[in-house]
């Protein structure tokens, strides 16, 4: 006898809606309209002959029938996804697409990725630069590198806030800690020669501070961690990415507050120097992020192991960069 199933598309829609307990969130995940989600759920309910959701004013709840269906269906879809990734894993190496923070990509990963390509010529690396939360359900990427914390509200006193969200659906993801995110203030040697190091609250108040749109609280948190009561300065230039702020600092336009890992090469080469002899940790660190179902996929594992082999040296270099003052 042939197998009899309800519409697989309707089942997929139900699983997403039940997981989120939201038709609108399911529509975003599936990249369809909310009306399309409602139609698929209605078709499934008509097929089963019973309601699966209680429609409330601003939310939905599973009915008894929905509660019976959802756990087994979610497990089935998880198993299908896992099996599919195992098949994809056996295809060989191929292309590995990684979503990376733009400045981390330019200042740290790209200078080192040549070595990986030489060791593994059968894996073609595609880098996608983005600061948005990575969404593996909707983006065609295998891995991501982001900065932050998997634990919400992880900041404690004396740390610099991170205003960026790392990823969607954290419960479906693996997080590999890479290196700490510690903030240092840097400027060009010429700027420091003209204005001197910033060692006091008063000197910080008169310095030109380069601001970052994506880390609006960074300077306030950094100065507060040093015990300095300096009003937030808005008169300095502002940029949307760290590489822009770093370039502005190299050109002598002011002092940029940046993660030490992004400027260690520039400090070592003499293009930048620490303008404030202090480092302050942020409320997170850099992570390699991937799907749990694909974490052991061959090309993912190969890249992950190569990156892990770099971590002791990268952390030592970051410590060195923090000690290179003019």
Which part of the chain has CATH 1.10.10.10?
A: 8-89
Q: Which CATH superfamily is domain 94-177+288-318 in?
A: Periplasmic binding protein-like II (3.40.190.10)
pLDDT of residue 44: 95
Which one is the CATH code of 182-284: 3.40.190.10, 3.40.50.11140, 3.40.50.300, 2.60.120.10? 3.40.190.10
Number of continuous H segments (helices) and E segments (strands) in the chain: 12, 10
Question: What phi and psi values does residue 156 have, to the nearest 5 degrees?
Answer: -120, 175
Reported confidence tier of residue 1, pLDDT bands at 50, 70, 90: low
CB atoms within 10 A of CB 278: 15
Strand partners, 60: 55
Work out the pLDDT band at 81, boundaries 50, 70, 90. Answer: confident
- Identify the pLDDT of residue 153: 66
CB count within 10 Å of CB 295 equals 15
Q: How far is CA 47 from CA 43, 184, 316, 319, in A?
A: 6, 61, 61, 63
pTM of the predicted model as reported, rounded to 2 decimal places: 0.71
Convert the pLDDT of each residue in 129-156 to its tens digit.
999 999 988 888 999 999 998 876 666 6
By C-alpha distance, which of 278, 302, 173 is closest to 222? Answer: 278
Least confident of 53-57, 80-84, 217-221, 314-318: 314-318
**Residue 86: its pLDDT value, please?**
67
Question: Minimal CA–CA distance to 248: which of 291, 212, 294, 288?
Answer: 212
Cβ contacts of residue 74 below 8 Å, gap of 6+? 15, 18, 19
What is the CATH number assigned to the segment(s) 8-89? 1.10.10.10
* 62/64 Cα distance (integer angstroms): 7
The answer for residues whose C-beta is within 8 angstroms of residue 287's C-beta and 6 or more apart is: 145, 146, 147, 148, 150, 166, 175, 176, 177, 178
Strands 273-291 and 173-187: antiparallel
pLDDT at 320 over 70: no
Pick from 98-102, 137-141, 184-188, 298-302: least confident: 137-141
The pLDDT-based confidence of 325 (bands split at 50, 70, 90) is very low
Average pLDDT over residues 183-192: 96
Strand order in the sheet with 238-239: 123-129, 94-100, 143-148, 273-291, 173-187, 255-259, 209-212, 238-239
Mean pLDDT of the chain: 88
CB 188 within 8 A of CB 269: no
Lowest-pLDDT range, 35-44, 115-124, 145-154? Answer: 145-154
Instruction: Please state, as a whole number, how many other Cβ atoms lie within 10 Å of the Cβ of residue 133.
Output: 17
pLDDT band at 80 (very low <50, low <70, confident <90, very high): confident
Q: At 165, is the secondary structure helix, strand, or coil? A: coil
pLDDT at 151: 77
> Strand, coil or helix: what is 116?
helix
- The SS3 call for residue 217 is coil
Residues of the chain with CATH 3.40.190.10: 94-177+288-318, 182-284
- pLDDT at position 323 is 47
How far is Cα 37 from Cα 42, in angstroms, rounded to an integer?
Answer: 9
The secondary structure element, H or E, covering residue 275 is strand 273-291
CA 275 to chain centre: 28
């Amino acid at each position: 006898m042939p197998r009899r199933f309800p519409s697989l598309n309707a089942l997929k829609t139900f699983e997403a809606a039940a997981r989120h307990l939201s038709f609108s969130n399911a529509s975003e995940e599936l990249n369809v309209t909310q009306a399309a989600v409602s139609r698929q759920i209605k078709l499934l309910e008509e097929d089963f002959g019973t309601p699966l959701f209680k429609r409330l004013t601003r939310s939905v709840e599973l009915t008894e029938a929905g509660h019976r269906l959802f756990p087994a269906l979610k497990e089935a879809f998880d198993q299908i996804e896992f099996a599919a990734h195992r098949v994809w894993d056996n295809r060989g190496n191929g292309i590995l697409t990684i979503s990376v923070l733009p400045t981390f990509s330019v200042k740290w990963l790209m200078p080192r990725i040549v070595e990986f390509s030489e060791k593994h010529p059968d894996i073609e690396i595609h880098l996608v630069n983005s600061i948005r939360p990575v969404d593996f359900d909707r983006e065609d990427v295998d891995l991501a590198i982001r900065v932050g914390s998997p634990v919400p509200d992880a900041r404690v006193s004396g740390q610099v806030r991170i205003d960026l969200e790392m990823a969607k659906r954290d419960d479906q993801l693996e997080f590999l800690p890479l290196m700490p995110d510690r903030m240092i203030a840097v400027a060009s040697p010429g700027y420091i020669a003209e204005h001197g190091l910033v060692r006091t609250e008063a000197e910080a108040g008169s310095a030109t501070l380069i601001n970052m749109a994506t880390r609006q609280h960074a300077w306030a948190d950094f100065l507060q961690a040093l015990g300095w009561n300096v009003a937030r300065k808005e008169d300095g230039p502002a940029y949307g990415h760290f590489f822009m702020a770093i370039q502005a600092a190299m050109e002598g336009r002011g002092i940029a507050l940046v993660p030490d890992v992004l400027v260690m090469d520039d400090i070592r080469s003499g293009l930048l120097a620490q303008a404030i002899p202090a480092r302050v940790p942020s409320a997170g660190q850099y992570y390699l992020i991937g799907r749990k179902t694909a974490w052991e996929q061959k090309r993912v594992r190969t890249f992950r192991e190569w990156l892990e082999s770099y971590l002791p040296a990268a952390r030592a270099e970051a410590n060195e960069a923090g000690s290179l003052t003019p």
